Amino acid sequence: MTDVMIGLGSNVGDRLLNLRTAVEGLRTVLRMVKVSHVYETTPVGVTDQPPFLNAAVRGVTSVGPQRLFFWAKSLESGAGRRPGPRLGPRQLDLDIIAFGDLEVATPRLRIPHVAYAERGFVLAPLADLAPDLSLPGASAPVRVLAARVGQAGVERVNPSDSLLAWR
């Protein structure tokens, strides 16, 4: 079994339901260990779009990284995501942030996920789950990276309206 971290995001439709559906769908290939708090975040890159809800899931899996990647893409598609502009609006976005100590660099899949260490919307949920984790190639643990990036544009959602039921 391999420890994995997956980032979740949604800014189209019922954002919270999209995240909850993703967590449920990930249970097919992961044994859940933890689900982070939910954060509302301002968009990065393409800023003329609705705010995102972001969270992270940490679990263990017996499937390989490619199979996990294709499962994540099928969940995105099932939520209604279609090809569109990079960093544009989406019903669901799932990114494999870490897959054990593995590093992967293919045209379709990068693990650890590229640019995770520069994005507060990724680091805040990761810090909920594994603040002392150092991902492969990282210059510091998640909590230190999160402190460097800061919390501008990242606000924790009211705990009563979150994914805590799956924690």
Q: Taking CA 152 as the corner, what is the angle to CA 149 and CA 154, rounded to the nearest 5 degrees?
A: 100
Closest CA to 29 of 6, 58, 61, 2: 61
Active site (catalytic) residues: 81, 90, 93, 95
Q: Is the dihedral of CA 129, 112, 90, 18 positive or negative?
A: negative
